[in-house]
A = this chain, B = another copy of it.
Amino acid sequence: MDLGQTERLKPVLASVKAMIKDEIAPMDEAFLAEVEKGDRWVLTARQSEILENLKSHAQAKGLWNFWDTLGDGPKLSTVEYAYLAEEMGKSHLAAEVFNCNAPDTGNMEVFARFGTAAMKTRWLKPLMAGQIRSAYLMTEPDIASSDATNIAMRCERQGDEYVLNGEKWWATGAGDPRCAVHIVMVRSSNDAPKHQQHSMIVVPADSPGITKLRAMEVYGHDDAPHGHIHFRYDNVRVPAENLLLGEGRGFEIAQNRLGPGRIHHCMRAIGQAEKALSLMCARSVSRHAFGKPLAQLGENFDLIAKARMDIEQARLLCLKAAWMMDQGDKRASAPWISQIKVVAPQVALAVTDMAIQMHGAAGVSQDTPLARQWTHLRTLRLADGPDAVHRRQVARAELAHYASGQNSS
Protein backbone atom coordinates (compact mmCIF):
# COMPACT_ATOMS: atom_id res chain seq x y z
CA MET A 1 0.00 0.00 0.00
CA ASP A 2 2.32 2.68 -1.28
CA LEU A 3 0.82 6.04 -0.38
CA GLY A 4 3.97 8.00 -1.16
CA GLN A 5 5.06 10.01 -4.15
CA THR A 6 6.30 7.76 -6.94
CA GLU A 7 9.49 8.52 -8.81
CA ARG A 8 7.38 9.21 -11.87
CA LEU A 9 5.34 11.75 -9.99
CA LYS A 10 8.12 13.68 -8.34
CA PRO A 11 9.26 15.82 -11.28
CA VAL A 12 5.66 16.49 -12.34
CA LEU A 13 4.76 17.53 -8.81
CA ALA A 14 7.81 19.77 -8.60
CA SER A 15 6.85 21.47 -11.87
CA VAL A 16 3.26 21.95 -10.78
CA LYS A 17 4.35 23.41 -7.43
CA ALA A 18 6.80 25.73 -9.11
CA MET A 19 4.35 26.94 -11.72
CA ILE A 20 1.66 27.57 -9.09
CA LYS A 21 4.06 29.46 -6.87
CA ASP A 22 5.79 31.46 -9.58
CA GLU A 23 3.12 32.02 -12.19
CA ILE A 24 -0.42 31.15 -11.17
CA ALA A 25 -0.93 32.13 -7.53
CA PRO A 26 0.50 35.61 -8.19
CA MET A 27 -2.34 36.20 -10.69
CA ASP A 28 -5.21 35.03 -8.45
CA GLU A 29 -6.10 38.40 -6.98
CA ALA A 30 -5.75 40.26 -10.28
CA PHE A 31 -8.11 37.79 -11.93
CA LEU A 32 -10.67 38.02 -9.16
CA ALA A 33 -10.53 41.81 -9.09
CA GLU A 34 -11.63 41.89 -12.73
CA VAL A 35 -14.98 40.35 -11.82
CA GLU A 36 -16.18 43.63 -10.37
CA LYS A 37 -15.61 45.44 -13.66
CA GLY A 38 -18.55 45.55 -16.02
CA ASP A 39 -20.74 42.50 -16.66
CA ARG A 40 -19.82 39.99 -14.03
CA TRP A 41 -20.83 37.09 -16.26
CA VAL A 42 -18.58 37.83 -19.20
CA LEU A 43 -14.88 37.25 -18.90
CA THR A 44 -13.04 40.54 -19.30
CA ALA A 45 -10.27 40.78 -21.86
CA ARG A 46 -7.80 40.84 -18.98
CA GLN A 47 -9.28 37.68 -17.48
CA SER A 48 -9.08 35.84 -20.77
CA GLU A 49 -5.54 37.00 -21.29
CA ILE A 50 -4.46 35.85 -17.84
CA LEU A 51 -6.10 32.47 -18.22
CA GLU A 52 -5.05 31.73 -21.78
CA ASN A 53 -1.46 32.73 -21.14
CA LEU A 54 -1.23 30.46 -18.16
CA LYS A 55 -2.92 27.61 -19.98
CA SER A 56 -0.50 27.92 -22.87
CA HIS A 57 2.42 27.80 -20.48
CA ALA A 58 1.00 24.75 -18.76
CA GLN A 59 0.43 22.96 -22.05
CA ALA A 60 3.88 23.86 -23.24
CA LYS A 61 5.33 22.26 -20.12
CA GLY A 62 3.16 19.19 -20.49
CA LEU A 63 1.28 20.06 -17.30
CA TRP A 64 -2.15 19.41 -18.73
CA ASN A 65 -4.97 16.92 -18.40
CA PHE A 66 -3.44 14.90 -15.60
CA TRP A 67 -6.77 13.21 -15.15
CA ASP A 68 -6.74 11.87 -18.67
CA THR A 69 -8.35 8.62 -19.56
CA LEU A 70 -8.24 9.16 -23.28
CA GLY A 71 -5.39 11.35 -24.35
CA ASP A 72 -1.66 11.04 -24.19
CA GLY A 73 -1.06 12.72 -20.84
CA PRO A 74 0.99 11.18 -18.04
CA LYS A 75 -1.71 8.66 -17.02
CA LEU A 76 -1.35 9.10 -13.32
CA SER A 77 -2.83 6.88 -10.66
CA THR A 78 -5.40 8.36 -8.30
CA VAL A 79 -2.78 8.48 -5.56
CA GLU A 80 -0.41 10.37 -7.79
CA TYR A 81 -3.12 12.72 -8.99
CA ALA A 82 -4.11 13.37 -5.37
CA TYR A 83 -0.73 14.96 -4.63
CA LEU A 84 -1.21 17.31 -7.59
CA ALA A 85 -4.76 18.17 -6.53
CA GLU A 86 -3.46 19.18 -3.10
CA GLU A 87 -1.16 21.73 -4.73
CA MET A 88 -3.90 23.02 -7.00
CA GLY A 89 -6.01 23.69 -3.93
CA LYS A 90 -3.62 26.43 -2.92
CA SER A 91 -4.48 28.75 -5.82
CA HIS A 92 -7.79 29.95 -7.18
CA LEU A 93 -6.82 29.52 -10.84
CA ALA A 94 -4.56 26.49 -10.73
CA ALA A 95 -7.03 23.71 -11.44
CA GLU A 96 -8.32 25.42 -14.55
CA VAL A 97 -4.84 26.30 -15.76
CA PHE A 98 -3.93 22.60 -15.80
CA ASN A 99 -7.36 21.74 -17.27
CA CYS A 100 -8.14 19.83 -14.11
CA ASN A 101 -11.08 21.84 -12.87
CA ALA A 102 -14.41 20.54 -11.68
CA PRO A 103 -16.85 19.70 -13.08
CA ASP A 104 -14.95 19.36 -16.35
CA THR A 105 -12.71 16.48 -15.29
CA GLY A 106 -15.70 14.43 -14.24
CA ASN A 107 -17.59 15.31 -17.38
CA MET A 108 -14.61 14.40 -19.59
CA GLU A 109 -14.51 11.09 -17.77
CA VAL A 110 -18.19 10.52 -18.58
CA PHE A 111 -17.73 11.34 -22.26
CA ALA A 112 -14.64 9.18 -22.46
CA ARG A 113 -16.25 6.15 -20.85
CA PHE A 114 -19.86 6.37 -21.86
CA GLY A 115 -20.05 8.82 -24.77
CA THR A 116 -20.65 8.07 -28.41
CA ALA A 117 -18.01 8.79 -31.03
CA ALA A 118 -19.93 11.89 -32.02
CA MET A 119 -19.93 13.16 -28.45
CA LYS A 120 -16.22 12.58 -28.19
CA THR A 121 -15.64 14.70 -31.23
CA ARG A 122 -18.09 17.42 -30.35
CA TRP A 123 -17.55 17.73 -26.61
CA LEU A 124 -14.66 15.71 -25.29
CA LYS A 125 -12.07 16.97 -27.70
CA PRO A 126 -12.60 20.70 -27.05
CA LEU A 127 -12.93 20.02 -23.32
CA MET A 128 -9.56 18.28 -23.33
CA ALA A 129 -8.15 21.19 -25.26
CA GLY A 130 -9.53 23.66 -22.74
CA GLN A 131 -11.59 25.40 -25.40
CA ILE A 132 -15.00 24.95 -23.88
CA ARG A 133 -16.34 24.26 -20.44
CA SER A 134 -19.19 22.12 -19.19
CA ALA A 135 -21.70 21.76 -16.38
CA TYR A 136 -23.22 18.88 -14.46
CA LEU A 137 -26.89 19.28 -13.54
CA MET A 138 -27.92 17.03 -10.71
CA THR A 139 -29.51 18.74 -7.74
CA GLU A 140 -32.99 20.30 -7.78
CA PRO A 141 -34.66 22.92 -5.59
CA ASP A 142 -37.90 21.16 -4.80
CA ILE A 143 -36.61 17.86 -3.49
CA ALA A 144 -34.07 16.65 -0.97
CA SER A 145 -31.33 15.86 -3.45
CA SER A 146 -29.29 14.19 -0.71
CA ASP A 147 -31.48 11.22 -1.59
CA ALA A 148 -30.80 11.24 -5.32
CA THR A 149 -33.67 8.88 -5.99
CA ASN A 150 -35.86 11.96 -5.41
CA ILE A 151 -34.56 13.61 -8.58
CA ALA A 152 -37.60 14.68 -10.56
CA MET A 153 -36.76 16.46 -13.85
CA ARG A 154 -39.01 14.81 -16.38
CA CYS A 155 -37.49 13.21 -19.46
CA GLU A 156 -40.00 11.87 -21.91
CA ARG A 157 -39.39 10.09 -25.15
CA GLN A 158 -41.20 11.68 -28.08
CA GLY A 159 -40.22 10.03 -31.35
CA ASP A 160 -36.49 10.45 -31.86
CA GLU A 161 -36.17 12.95 -29.11
CA TYR A 162 -36.27 13.29 -25.39
CA VAL A 163 -38.15 16.24 -23.94
CA LEU A 164 -36.95 17.65 -20.62
CA ASN A 165 -38.96 19.68 -18.11
CA GLY A 166 -38.09 20.83 -14.62
CA GLU A 167 -35.60 22.86 -12.62
CA LYS A 168 -31.98 22.30 -11.69
CA TRP A 169 -29.86 24.47 -9.46
CA TRP A 170 -26.28 24.68 -8.28
CA ALA A 171 -25.04 24.01 -11.80
CA THR A 172 -21.48 25.00 -11.00
CA GLY A 173 -19.54 26.60 -13.82
CA ALA A 174 -22.66 27.09 -15.91
CA GLY A 175 -22.37 30.86 -15.59
CA ASP A 176 -19.17 30.86 -17.61
CA PRO A 177 -19.83 32.07 -21.18
CA ARG A 178 -17.58 29.25 -22.40
CA CYS A 179 -19.86 26.61 -20.87
CA ALA A 180 -21.16 24.74 -23.92
CA VAL A 181 -22.75 21.58 -22.64
CA HIS A 182 -24.75 20.21 -19.71
CA ILE A 183 -24.74 16.63 -18.52
CA VAL A 184 -28.08 16.22 -16.81
CA MET A 185 -29.54 13.67 -14.43
CA VAL A 186 -33.20 13.14 -15.26
CA ARG A 187 -36.11 10.94 -14.30
CA SER A 188 -36.98 8.80 -17.29
CA SER A 189 -39.38 6.48 -15.51
CA ASN A 190 -41.60 6.38 -12.45
CA ASP A 191 -42.18 2.65 -12.61
CA ALA A 192 -38.78 1.03 -12.82
CA PRO A 193 -36.99 -0.23 -9.72
CA LYS A 194 -35.89 2.67 -7.51
CA HIS A 195 -32.32 2.92 -8.78
CA GLN A 196 -33.27 2.45 -12.44
CA GLN A 197 -35.69 5.33 -12.83
CA HIS A 198 -33.03 7.85 -13.73
CA SER A 199 -30.91 8.56 -16.77
CA MET A 200 -28.03 10.81 -17.72
CA ILE A 201 -28.43 12.91 -20.82
CA VAL A 202 -26.29 15.40 -22.77
CA VAL A 203 -27.80 18.80 -23.53
CA PRO A 204 -26.14 21.62 -25.49
CA ALA A 205 -26.07 24.70 -23.27
CA ASP A 206 -27.73 26.86 -25.92
CA SER A 207 -30.72 24.56 -26.43
CA PRO A 208 -34.05 26.35 -26.73
CA GLY A 209 -36.12 26.19 -23.58
CA ILE A 210 -33.25 26.63 -21.12
CA THR A 211 -33.64 29.67 -18.89
CA LYS A 212 -31.08 30.94 -16.40
CA LEU A 213 -33.36 31.86 -13.50
CA ARG A 214 -30.61 33.25 -11.30
CA ALA A 215 -27.16 32.70 -9.88
CA MET A 216 -27.16 30.94 -6.55
CA GLU A 217 -25.10 32.68 -3.92
CA VAL A 218 -22.70 31.12 -1.44
CA TYR A 219 -22.65 33.24 1.70
CA GLY A 220 -23.60 36.14 -0.55
CA HIS A 221 -21.09 35.42 -3.33
CA ASP A 222 -22.21 34.52 -6.83
CA ASP A 223 -18.75 33.27 -7.85
CA ALA A 224 -19.12 35.04 -11.19
CA PRO A 225 -18.30 34.35 -13.91
CA HIS A 226 -18.03 30.67 -12.99
CA GLY A 227 -21.26 30.70 -11.00
CA HIS A 228 -23.77 28.22 -9.65
CA ILE A 229 -26.80 28.56 -11.88
CA HIS A 230 -30.45 27.88 -11.20
CA PHE A 231 -32.00 26.73 -14.50
CA ARG A 232 -35.48 26.06 -15.71
CA TYR A 233 -35.89 23.58 -18.57
CA ASP A 234 -39.11 24.06 -20.52
CA ASN A 235 -39.65 21.44 -23.19
CA VAL A 236 -35.96 21.20 -23.92
CA ARG A 237 -35.53 18.72 -26.79
CA VAL A 238 -32.46 16.66 -27.56
CA PRO A 239 -31.92 13.75 -29.97
CA ALA A 240 -32.52 10.35 -28.42
CA GLU A 241 -28.88 9.38 -28.88
CA ASN A 242 -27.91 12.05 -26.33
CA LEU A 243 -29.08 9.75 -23.56
CA LEU A 244 -26.00 8.01 -22.19
CA LEU A 245 -25.78 4.20 -22.01
CA GLY A 246 -29.55 3.70 -22.01
CA GLU A 247 -32.57 4.57 -19.94
CA GLY A 248 -32.36 3.77 -16.25
CA ARG A 249 -28.56 3.78 -16.04
CA GLY A 250 -28.16 7.23 -14.54
CA PHE A 251 -26.99 6.01 -11.15
CA GLU A 252 -24.47 3.69 -12.71
CA ILE A 253 -22.87 6.63 -14.51
CA ALA A 254 -23.13 8.93 -11.49
CA GLN A 255 -21.28 6.45 -9.28
CA ASN A 256 -18.46 6.21 -11.79
CA ARG A 257 -18.30 9.94 -12.10
CA LEU A 258 -18.32 11.02 -8.49
CA GLY A 259 -15.64 8.84 -6.91
CA PRO A 260 -12.53 10.50 -8.33
CA GLY A 261 -14.15 13.92 -8.21
CA ARG A 262 -14.69 13.60 -4.49
CA ILE A 263 -11.07 12.69 -3.94
CA HIS A 264 -9.93 15.68 -5.99
CA HIS A 265 -12.20 17.99 -4.01
CA CYS A 266 -10.86 16.55 -0.77
CA MET A 267 -7.21 16.82 -1.71
CA ARG A 268 -7.71 20.40 -2.85
CA ALA A 269 -9.31 20.98 0.55
CA ILE A 270 -6.19 19.55 2.21
CA GLY A 271 -4.13 21.99 0.17
CA GLN A 272 -6.26 24.81 1.45
CA ALA A 273 -5.87 23.57 5.00
CA GLU A 274 -2.09 23.61 4.59
CA LYS A 275 -2.27 27.14 3.26
CA ALA A 276 -4.37 28.22 6.24
CA LEU A 277 -2.01 26.57 8.72
CA SER A 278 0.91 28.28 7.09
CA LEU A 279 -0.76 31.68 7.36
CA MET A 280 -1.69 30.93 10.96
CA CYS A 281 1.88 30.03 11.90
CA ALA A 282 3.35 33.05 10.17
CA ARG A 283 0.88 35.31 11.95
CA SER A 284 1.49 33.66 15.30
CA VAL A 285 5.21 34.39 15.28
CA SER A 286 5.02 37.90 13.85
CA ARG A 287 2.17 39.47 15.81
CA HIS A 288 2.61 40.42 19.46
CA ALA A 289 0.20 40.93 22.33
CA PHE A 290 0.76 41.08 26.06
CA GLY A 291 4.49 41.24 25.41
CA LYS A 292 4.76 37.95 23.52
CA PRO A 293 4.28 36.61 20.02
CA LEU A 294 0.77 35.20 19.72
CA ALA A 295 2.24 31.70 19.34
CA GLN A 296 3.25 31.80 22.97
CA LEU A 297 -0.11 32.86 24.33
CA GLY A 298 -2.77 30.55 25.66
CA GLU A 299 -3.77 27.57 23.61
CA ASN A 300 -2.11 28.70 20.39
CA PHE A 301 0.62 26.05 20.52
CA ASP A 302 -2.06 23.45 21.07
CA LEU A 303 -4.13 24.73 18.16
CA ILE A 304 -1.18 24.64 15.81
CA ALA A 305 -0.42 21.08 16.90
CA LYS A 306 -4.05 20.09 16.52
CA ALA A 307 -4.18 21.55 13.02
CA ARG A 308 -1.03 19.65 12.03
CA MET A 309 -2.32 16.36 13.44
CA ASP A 310 -5.73 16.71 11.84
CA ILE A 311 -4.29 17.61 8.45
CA GLU A 312 -1.87 14.68 8.44
CA GLN A 313 -4.62 12.25 9.29
CA ALA A 314 -7.00 13.64 6.69
CA ARG A 315 -4.31 13.53 4.00
CA LEU A 316 -3.42 9.93 4.81
CA LEU A 317 -7.08 8.97 4.69
CA CYS A 318 -7.44 10.68 1.29
CA LEU A 319 -4.43 8.84 -0.02
CA LYS A 320 -5.76 5.55 1.30
CA ALA A 321 -9.13 6.20 -0.39
CA ALA A 322 -7.28 7.04 -3.62
CA TRP A 323 -5.26 3.85 -3.30
CA MET A 324 -8.44 1.85 -2.77
CA MET A 325 -9.84 3.34 -5.98
CA ASP A 326 -6.68 2.38 -7.80
CA GLN A 327 -7.24 -1.24 -6.79
CA GLY A 328 -10.30 -1.18 -9.03
CA ASP A 329 -12.98 -2.58 -6.71
CA LYS A 330 -15.70 0.05 -6.62
CA ARG A 331 -17.74 -1.65 -3.94
CA ALA A 332 -14.73 -1.87 -1.63
CA SER A 333 -13.60 1.70 -2.23
CA ALA A 334 -17.02 3.36 -1.82
CA PRO A 335 -17.02 3.63 1.99
CA TRP A 336 -13.49 5.01 1.90
CA ILE A 337 -14.61 7.77 -0.41
CA SER A 338 -17.51 8.50 1.90
CA GLN A 339 -15.12 8.65 4.84
CA ILE A 340 -12.85 11.19 3.24
CA LYS A 341 -15.77 13.19 1.91
CA VAL A 342 -16.82 13.74 5.53
CA VAL A 343 -13.38 14.23 7.02
CA ALA A 344 -11.45 16.45 4.62
CA PRO A 345 -13.88 19.38 4.37
CA GLN A 346 -14.40 19.44 8.13
CA VAL A 347 -10.67 19.48 8.84
CA ALA A 348 -10.05 22.17 6.23
CA LEU A 349 -12.90 24.27 7.60
CA ALA A 350 -11.70 23.92 11.17
CA VAL A 351 -8.11 24.83 10.34
CA THR A 352 -9.23 27.78 8.22
CA ASP A 353 -11.46 29.00 11.03
CA MET A 354 -8.59 28.74 13.53
CA ALA A 355 -6.39 30.70 11.14
CA ILE A 356 -9.07 33.37 10.81
CA GLN A 357 -9.30 33.68 14.58
CA MET A 358 -5.49 33.95 14.86
CA HIS A 359 -5.60 36.89 12.45
CA GLY A 360 -8.10 38.84 14.50
CA ALA A 361 -10.43 41.05 12.49
CA ALA A 362 -8.08 40.85 9.49
CA GLY A 363 -9.04 37.19 9.28
CA VAL A 364 -12.63 37.84 8.26
CA SER A 365 -11.64 40.64 5.87
CA GLN A 366 -10.38 40.96 2.34
CA ASP A 367 -6.78 41.21 3.61
CA THR A 368 -6.24 37.45 3.64
CA PRO A 369 -7.65 34.70 1.40
CA LEU A 370 -9.02 32.92 4.47
CA ALA A 371 -12.61 34.16 4.53
CA ARG A 372 -13.13 33.41 0.84
CA GLN A 373 -11.54 30.02 1.31
CA TRP A 374 -13.84 29.24 4.22
CA THR A 375 -17.05 29.98 2.33
CA HIS A 376 -15.86 27.86 -0.57
CA LEU A 377 -14.94 24.96 1.69
CA ARG A 378 -18.24 25.19 3.50
CA THR A 379 -20.10 24.10 0.39
CA LEU A 380 -18.09 20.88 0.27
CA ARG A 381 -19.97 19.59 3.30
CA LEU A 382 -23.03 19.63 1.04
CA ALA A 383 -21.80 19.16 -2.53
CA ASP A 384 -21.72 15.59 -3.81
CA GLY A 385 -23.75 14.48 -0.81
CA PRO A 386 -24.06 16.06 2.63
CA ASP A 387 -22.03 14.69 5.51
CA ALA A 388 -24.99 12.84 6.95
CA VAL A 389 -25.46 10.75 3.82
CA HIS A 390 -21.82 9.78 3.73
CA ARG A 391 -21.74 8.89 7.41
CA ARG A 392 -24.79 6.76 6.75
CA GLN A 393 -22.89 4.94 4.00
CA VAL A 394 -19.91 4.36 6.25
CA ALA A 395 -22.11 2.98 9.01
CA ARG A 396 -23.97 0.70 6.64
CA ALA A 397 -20.72 -0.71 5.33
CA GLU A 398 -19.57 -1.29 8.91
CA LEU A 399 -22.76 -2.97 10.04
CA ALA A 400 -22.90 -5.18 6.97
CA HIS A 401 -20.46 -7.43 8.84
CA TYR A 402 -23.00 -7.97 11.61
CA ALA A 403 -26.02 -10.17 11.74
CA SER A 404 -28.96 -7.82 11.36
CA GLY A 405 -30.31 -4.34 11.79
CA GLN A 406 -28.08 -2.77 9.17
CA ASN A 407 -30.87 -1.89 6.82
CA SER A 408 -31.95 1.72 6.77
CA SER A 409 -32.12 4.09 9.70
Contact = CB atoms under 8 A, between A and B. Distances in A.
B220 A372 contact: yes
Contacts of A357: 381-382, 386-388
Contact of A317 (B4, B312, B398, B399): B312
A298 B146 contact: no
Contact of A394 (B305, B388, B393): B305
A317 B308 contact: no
Contacts of A302: 298-299, 388, 391-392, 395
Interface stretch (A10-18, A22-30, A286-294): A286-294
Interface residues of A, number: 93
A383 B281 CA distance: 22
9 contacts: A2-B2, A220-B372, A284-B405, A299-B301, A304-B398, A304-B399, A305-B339, A305-B391, A312-B339
Contacts of A221: 220
A283 to B, nearest CB: 10
Contact of A150 (B220, B281, B289, B313): B289
Of the candidates A221, A282, A290, A365, the one having the most CB atoms from chain B within 10 angstroms of its own CB is A365
A216 B366 contact: yes
Interface string A373-399: 011001101110011101111111011
Contact of A313 (B314, B365, B391, B392): B314
A175 to B, nearest CB: 14
Contact of A364 (B298, B379, B409): B379
A403 interface: yes
A370 B308 CA distance: 30
Contact of A298 (B4, B301, B372): B301
